[in-house]
Amino acid sequence: MTSAADKAWRHPAQVVGCWDGAAAPAPSLLRCRTTGAWWDALESAGITLLVTREYEHLVTALSVVRGTPLVSYLPLPHPSGIAVDRRRNVVHVASTRNPNQIYDLVPVNDTLPRFDVRHGRMRPTLMPTRARMFPGSLYMHDLAFVGNQLHANAVGHNAVVRIGDGGFAYAWWPRCVERANGVLVEQNHLQLNSIAAGRSLKSSFFSASTDRIARLRPGHAQFPVDRRGVVFSGATREPIAFGLTRPHSARLRNGKVWLLNSGYGEYGYIEDGALHSVATLPGWTRGLCFHRRVAFAGTSRVLPRFRQYAPGLTVDRAVCGVHAIDADSGRVLGSITWPGGNQIFAIDWVPRGVAEKLPFVMGEAAPPLSLFYAYRPQGVAQPRRTRSVKRRGPGG
């Protein structure tokens, strides 16, 4: 055995992400700047904010613990959608590489008793406990709970799929992809990319870059992007809003569909079949969640090969960051930006009491080997000695 082979796959991040480069993310990717009352907004909300950064292959967690900002992370391959099961405290993260994966993260705050590591309680930490693989052609984007069931946008199949332990099943698709011989799932034609999840598929809504099958598809350099985007109704399977440009991150709040009009950097809601813009942010808008009266919205830089997708942006001024916004007025309360960052995909949150961080903490050089070695999964109790049974003799 060579020395290199013996040393390979020793870092927990490499094992979790099945990626050699996960052991040492560039420090510049984690350096951040804040403006306004960013940390105050996060602290008063009492949450840990989770942010996927797809092209940096990072999931980042942001929280304020006992008055001190805490930035932590977990390297995963091209993370995209996030869905939080608040009943069971499980975080699901989509990884949109080939094959696609969905990682399950659960809070851990205790270690197993071991003689070779210190046993004790720790800060509640989201730990990866399961990864499921799916065909890469699904091209999963958003994740969402429709009712109590996890769903995903299968962008590559023009459909929404229901996720089960044994795989997936087609659950919903727009009427425009229905054909006499079936549903057109062989190729991406719509960029059907987000779920405004209701209690059922019929009460949900879905954003897409177009509502029609055409020769040029959404990934083509000449695809006509500007104002071609729509929002589909789950009930009718037809569009209920038009005139959007690469819409993303649709969410239901107070009976309205809120979303990000990415190509123009806008945040707003749908009214009378069109976008009512509430705020314009400095970049490609993608990633949206709500906590009470605060909206957390992401902005991204625009990759050079995607400049044509952002006709309403000053591309060179776009920033990678997350902005805390008064959800109704659009007033920016505070922002965090990563000067060395690139693309935000999804944003969601867990209560800070459930989890304060991810396994790796910004500024800590040593990997938490003992954490991965001896964390106690949920429901695992210490074994107890069984009662001894007194055996009787041959004549007893």
Instruction: Encode pLDDT of 165-210 as tens digits.
Output: 889 999 999 999 999 999 999 999 999 999 999 999 999 999 999 9
Residue ranges of E strands in 15-120: 33-36, 47-53, 58-65, 68-75, 79-85, 90-95, 100-110
- Alpha-carbon distance of 61 to 76, in angstroms, equals 13
* 24-48 mean pLDDT: 95
Radius of gyration of the chain (CA): 23
3-class DSSP string for 214-282? CCCCCCCCCCCCCCCEEEEECCCCCEEEEEECCEEEEEEECCEEEEEEHHHCEEEEEECCEEEEEEECC
Strand partners, 250: none
What confidence tier does 369 reach under pLDDT thresholds 50, 70, 90?
confident
pTM of the model: 0.95
Pick the CATH number of 31-46+87-96+136-349 from 2.120.10.30, 1.10.240.10, 3.50.50.60, 3.30.70.20: 2.120.10.30
* Alpha helices, H only, the chain: 3-7, 12-17, 38-45, 369-374
Taking the C-alpha atoms of residue 42 and residue 44, their distance in angstroms, rounded to an integer, is 6
Is the confidence at residue 375, as pLDDT, over 70?
yes
Q: State the pLDDT at residue 384.
A: 84
Alpha-carbon distance 297 to 151, whole Å?
Answer: 22
What pLDDT, on the 0 to 100 scale, is given for residue 96?
Answer: 95
Measured CA to CA in angstroms, residue 83 lies from 94, 196, 255, 282 at distances of 9, 12, 20, 25
pLDDT tens digits, one per residue of 56-98: 999 999 999 999 999 999 999 999 999 999 999 999 999 999 9
**Taking a C-beta distance cutoff of 8 angstroms, is the pair 48, 64 a contact?**
no
